[in-house]
Structure 1
């Protein structure tokens, strides 16, 4: 049986907390990292009914999209909705983990799950995430000290490539030097040319970590004056992550596409609202899971025929349409983000096999109950 820490590490590996927006509150909210996990429930909102569902099912962990404590609180006594929710989970021994904006942009995240649910192909980020500026560091070290140096570089943050760490390349060679007066050589004598079997060690590192990686190199290297160089690497191009998604569907009309959206998403009282000519041809689709009117300008600059998102406000939507922008399809916030739950639930089940049982909450936490 995996521990809570094991499960959290998996989820954070897929949806790194460091990619969350600065205002967000993500990560493990409650739970003993050493506790075993055999049942995991997934939901959009950490409401009291969802917490009760988790407790009744015997879940060891509740994974939610929306944070329970996005704003600071002064207590968690069960006299407020948030307090009652957390108390219910604590009494049941169920941990709480939040993956919010860190799950929005990621591969297999919220917007990408929604894109697949709507049948998009050739999916790309609507607003690609900025790529990480990267350096390559090369250092020459006596062969006997190479392993220790590689460990020091890795602990300082170098050698991380995607899902791999401690990545490096080494080649053998000979180093030559002659210590001068005033030197305190680790190998050799002052005034005498020395030849040493050395390894050339190469690692990549985020440019923002350059100072600390070089400091770790200098601290771990046996030489008084080690030879090394740092090269800034070229921009690798568009990142696979980013805000929203854009892709292609089989040629259809706006009315037919809106019907597809309604069938693909869970039913809500708000339903699906559409702005545009019902007969408008639709092939290119842009979307954003959750509230997405902040992307309207970005959508206008694409070849999208329609933009699907939630919580569109009157004036931004009206002005967008006045400029002859793509058609708009507005869906319930909860319904759009719900499409991620089966994806992450299946992903965790595939990773952990039959050691963990996963389930998507059956509770509709959309705040709107009915319409007249």
Structure 2
């Protein structure tokens, strides 16, 4: 785990409920998807926040790290569950992993907060363009109707001139130290690109409509990628988790701005959930 630096320190005490309220104002559920779960999914609202661990996924390993560090709040991007668990038993004693995570969190006095699609649609979600050496134009592929400055998919231009699909894929590999899956001609030039974290099948048509030639994202379904590449849209898949790991930093900054001192905020480095053999 590494400590967050570069934000304002605060010594004010804060309850879990107050932290949830501040983060929910920053990433309101109204800007997320109706099927999503956000906020404090399991925990102790009246407890005072001692320390906070920020992670991408609320895995058992992340919960163990939170406990070992002595923190009582785990803030993640992904929720503990979408479909409610059916069993709440010790980890390894059943096949409902989500229920076992809830059991562990509550047994260890850990409150679990998450901000999923509201973070995806936020201004803070535009983390990939800078990493990729792209200039975000301000145009979104899928803006929210009542808040057009929020939404999914950032339309970009290559910083400093010409770029090919293969060169952009090489940048992705250099930044994340993982090979990317590339659909399309590596020698094809890019004048307009787009970035999207996580699953990006919902923005493929919008990318084509916006004249985008290459979409850098977490993942798309096989047939979506196949069809898109034949329609002239190259796709660079980083991996769902790889594309979203940078979101832990804006999430940690939001925790600090909610009133938790930076010395009590730690970003859990979970690494990658998969690898290429």
TM category (shorter chain) comes to 0.7 to 0.9
Which of 155, 159, 167 lines up with 1:256 in the alignment?
Answer: 167
* TM-score between both structures, scaled by the size of structure 1: 0.65
Corresponding residue of 1:33: 45
Which residue is equivalent to 2:215? 307
Which structure has the larger Rg over C-alpha atoms? 1
Quote the Cα distance in structure 2 between the aligned partners of 1:116 and 1:14.
Answer: 22
- Name the structure 1 match of 2:182: 274
Q: In the TM superposition, what is the alpha-carbon distance from 1:88 to its structure 2 partner?
A: 2.4
Shift of 1:301: 0.7
Q: Distance in 2 between matches of 1:244 and 1:309?
A: 9
Query: In structure 1, what is the Cα distance between the partners aligned to 2:165 and 2:202?
Result: 22
SS at match of 1:255: helix
8 Å CA contact 1:38, 1:356 repeated in 2: no
2:84 maps to 1:68:
no
Query: RMSD in angstroms over aligned alpha carbons?
Result: 2.0
Conservation of the 8 A alpha-carbon contact between 1:115 and 1:123? no
Residue 128 of structure 1 deviates from its aligned partner by: 1.0
Q: CA deviation at 1:4?
A: 1.0
**How is 1:1-372 mapped onto 2 (pairs within 5 angstroms)?**
1-78=13-90, 79-80=93-94, 81-109=97-125, 112-121=126-135, 122-131=137-146, 239-250=148-159, 251=161, 252-265=163-176, 267-268=177-178, 271-323=179-231, 325-352=232-259, 354=261, 357-364=264-271, 366=273, 368=274, 370-372=275-277
**Structure with more of its chain in strand, by fraction:** 1
CA distance in 1, matches of 2:80, 2:260: 29
Contact 2:214/2:233, CA 8 A, preserved across alignment: yes
Please give the secondary structure, in 1, of the residue aligned with 2:53: strand
CA drift of 1:57 comes to 0.8
Task: Check whether the contact 2:85–2:98 (CA below 8 A) recurs between aligned residues.
Answer: no
In 1, Cα distance between the equivalents of 2:254 and 2:114? 16
- 5+ unaligned residues in a row in structure 1: which ranges? 133-238
Give the Cα separation in 1 of the matches to 2:78 and 2:254: 19
Unaligned runs of at least 5 residues, structure 2: 1-12
Answer 1 or 2: higher relative contact order, Cα 8 Å, separation at least 6: 2
Query: Normalising by structure 2, what TM-score?
Result: 0.85
How many angstroms does 1:281 deviate by? 2.1
Q: How far 1:101 moved relative to its partner?
A: 1.2
